[in-house]
Amino acid sequence: MRALLIRDLRLALRSGGGFGLGLTFFLIVIVLVPFSVGPASSLLSRIAPGILWLGALLACLLSLDRLLTVDWEDGALDLLSTSPIPLEGIVSIKALAHWITTGLPLLLVAPLLGVLLHLPVDGFGVLISSLALGTPALSMIGVFGAALTIGIKRGGLLLSLLVLPLYIPTLIFGAEAARRGAQGLEFGTPLLFLAGITGFVLALMPFVAAVVLRLNLR
């Protein structure tokens, strides 16, 4: 399992789905926001939690089409499916590798970019907590979407259309928790809902994605 994780991390970096792509896109989104809505600090601080969460979600979406495509194209996925590791474990490792190369860097850099949007100091801790709870669900749902569209030519757009509706609950509760934290309000309830969504996704999606992969590999 550890060797598979290391291999997937290397593949993610080589295929352009590594640290730089997501972080660059995230930075571009955050930098462009003041140009589009104006430089007023009061407005930016009010919309900062939602913008940061939306930017993180879109950055996670960028590399999803390469999650399984590389292994599909070179035949490695067929070999992995016959290995002693069950497909549920394989898709879980894929999701973990995606989170390490995409979600974790976004989690670390989000507070720094929050300064650009005048995010209140009280909101930084809740923002980090919400991203830490929510981004693993984004990666796991992304693996499920990649399994659905594997083998389809130009399936990137279809993948986005399939995955985005499933991302909405995570986005709603993650942004709401960050907004409440920034405004000094009670944020425990949306964080609990966010944790529940992530727990449900991590418990269910590996099995669903494995079933879809078995059907596509036949």
| pLDDT given at position 171 | 95
Inter-residue contact 182 to 45 (CB < 8 Å): yes
Whether the predicted pLDDT of 176 surpasses 90: yes
The predicted structure's pLDDT at residue 201: 96
End-to-end CA distance of the chain: 24
- Average pLDDT of the residues of the chain: 86
User: Which residue did the predictor score with more confidence, 24 or 135?
Assistant: 135
pLDDT above 60: residue 96: yes
Q: Is pTM beyond 0.85 here?
A: yes
How far apart (Å, rounded) are the C-alpha atoms in residues 74 and 26?
30
% of the chain at pLDDT higher than 90: 37
Cα–Cα distance measured from residue 69 to residue 146, given in angstroms and rounded to the nearest whole number: 8
- Residue 54 is predicted with a pLDDT of 92
Task: Evaluate whether 141 touches 166 at the Cβ level (below 8 Å).
Answer: yes
Confidence of residue 206 (pLDDT cuts 50, 70, 90): very high
Confidence class of residue 19 from pLDDT cuts 50, 70 and 90?
low
